[in-house]
Structure 1
Amino acid sequence: MPELARVGPLILWLLQGALCKDSWISLPKNMEALDGSCVVIPCTFGPTKALGRDQIGVWRSNDPWKGNEVFRKGTTHGVWANVRVTIGDVRAGNCSTRLDRVGPQQGGTYYFRTEGQYSYTFGHNALNITVQDKPLITPFVPVKEGTVTYLSCSAPSSCPRDPPVLAWSDTLKGAKMETSKEESRIQVVLRFNASHVHHNKTVTCRASRRRQRWTNTVTLNVTYSPRRTSISGHRVHNVTEGDAVTLSCTSNANPPSSYTWYHVTGSSVTQRGSGQSLPLHNVTLSDGGLYYCEARNKHGGENSTAVTIDVQLSTPPVAPLPQVHPLTLVLVSVLCLLLLLLLLWCSIRNIKINKRAHHTAGRPYRSHQTEQEKNKRGERREAQCASPGGEDVCYAAVDFSKTKSNKKSEEDYVNSNVLRNWTNEVVVYASIKH
């Protein structure tokens, strides 16, 4: 009997070693899950004939032999402490495990071990769990305009009986959606012809499961040749010699355009510069004419509509008006008013003088001599008054005749008349006749 007691453990160890050579496990290497969803780990192991009625399942994290236990016989520990875990019938070799409400902290590497009549750690079969917070959109790369593009949105289907539902927020005007389901993932594909109108457009993929929602948004990157190329300028019109003019060229392109400027004079086309802006300093008449820009990138090029710069001859500067003090303006105004009053007074005076002259001319002339004296001497006098130059002037004529009573000699007698005009100036006029 003592000898049998010594041989028994040895025989049991040899039998267990033989069974270990036949141990196997079916376990996925990688699994993915959406944050907050469930994970069903498909798992079977053997040999089942070595399993006893007290067989249990154990999950360890990070290391198969020294790692922390997260699950043992219906009890959770460590990072699985807040997760509801359900395991299959380990006595029948079913190690499938369901985890509900997984989060980022449940991500990691796990190993399965069974204990009981048959104890074994499957240290060469690791399970890696990745927890995602949103669906995955691919490809996230630039696409060229005009090409047929496929945009895929996928999410893990870690709960086969309750997979998420995927949908795109925008169909991009005629794009088609195709849904496919793989063993562990579900995806929806958006098929469309890439256009420049899609560039920088955002599209969203939405995954939903019961009351849970997950979304992912991307911005499309479509490359295309330049379009809508145009020129805007500062002071293109009414340009004078010596002025400064700046022209700017813009276009819609991806990737951005490079710009070249051209000057057209008659039938000649000359390259004037490069860059988005063309500055022209101190322009001359030769700078006038048509200008256009060419926008170009690796997908093509486009010319803008030409603009005309009409350069005019410069004119000499006009001297600024002197500054006049307000008091000076008042004095000048007063002097002008006085001058106007003086002119008005002179005009009225001349009118009165003319009236007096006409009145005097209509009267017979009377001298200081009496009619008797005139008859004695036989004189004939005539007086006329006129107003030359606006002054009263009287002319007198004297006629000396020979009389019978005067026999001795003929005397020449001159009778001078002294007249006064309206200015009281003495004027003497005499006329002598024989």
Structure 2
Amino acid sequence: MGQIIADLGGELITLFLSVLGMLPYLALYIGLILFALFVYTQIKHRLSPVQDFTSLKTVTFGDESAVVSNKAASVISVVLIFVIWGAFTGSAWLPKFLHAPGPFLGDARFTYTLETADGETAQAQVAVRVHEAGQKPDAPVVDGNEGLAQNDTLVVQAYRSKLLRWDANDVVTRKDGAKIVAVNATPISRDADVDVGFGRVALTDKGTLNFEPDKGWQMENIWLPAPESVWQRLISVSRDGYQNVTLAEHLSYSLFRVIVGFALGAAVGIPLGYAMGLSNWFRGWFDPIVEFMRPVPPLALIPLVIIWAGIGEQGKIILLFLAALWIMAIGARSGVSGVKISKVHAAYSLGASKRQILRHVIIPNSLPEIFTAARVAMGVCWGTVVAAELVAAEKGVGKMIVSASKFQDTDIVLMGIILIGIIGFGIDMLMRWAEQYLVPWKGKG
């Protein structure tokens, strides 16, 4: 137990340090948001300087029905995300003055100091050439050096490191007791690296030198490809497909699974939620089951569903059905419980029957909660179908992503993630439009 607590404590410390490292970037992003808000406010004020009673809002702060998405803020937010993405990947779509500092490329030199077993010292230069991935440049030319230490060359790819066996051409070697004691006149040891301006030089346990060129702030393509790389890959996959399956097939299979699973979950979950909200017996019967299954993540059910229904379409749809079922049931139950009792009493006083109260009072007033639950359930279904396709599928966006990750095709992985987000956003927007059309009374009491 003590070891477990110590391990968890170490993980918490590492997480805390990681969060601290992200704070400057988070502060910068928040600063950009506030700056964009200030600029937008000033421009709007100058374009519409009239300040009379017609320009004042008639709603009070906190009125949910008065808060709508600002289209200018949405456009600026999306553009800013792409600008940040392009800046930290050196995108050709952005002017170079917007690029974050990139990795060091080119030729440079550093000097190391050798010390023999007798205490005699000598110096030699190392000519370094850092190149981009895919290139095979020649080694730089160095002059001869008279003495115990001879000049060396080193060719390194950007974002990589390389060992320098400095004694391969020296008069004295490590076997003779010689060692490196300084780089650029700065003492070096196994615990103290030396920054040479264009990279760092470290001393390994075996006494060799390890050079790592400066990476700058830009991300390597294998970690985060530039926007144009993802766009070009989207065009090529749309035209030629990926692993003998077209992109349209991948997307249609995933979308079909999500829609069918969500529809089945809603068809069962909404009546179940109404029954739990209207009947003490149904509430007592199903409440333990719903509350037990609600915190269980759908991904935990994948092995059981595979055992029961196999790896075909039935298993994936059952998994999505279970992912949507509990969310829709809780949404419908919450909608029924949230109906104002004054409306029910008013309907009874007018002579309404239970069926009329259900039709004209309970269902209309519970629809906002049901639509909110549907949007949440659809998002959960998207995440679940991708995870299910990661485990067992021949077609689907998740299958495409996991296959691309095995070959380190990060641009395809990122393309799949973006497509999932765009489709999910589109579905959410359709639900919002349907809610505005079908439930125009939301937020109006």
Decide: shared fold, TM above 0.5: no
TM range (shorter): under 0.3
The one of the two structures with greater contact order (alpha-carbon pairs below 8 A, sep at least 6) is 2
TM-score, normalized by length of structure 1?
0.20
TM-score, normalized by length of structure 2?
0.19
Larger relative strand fraction: 1
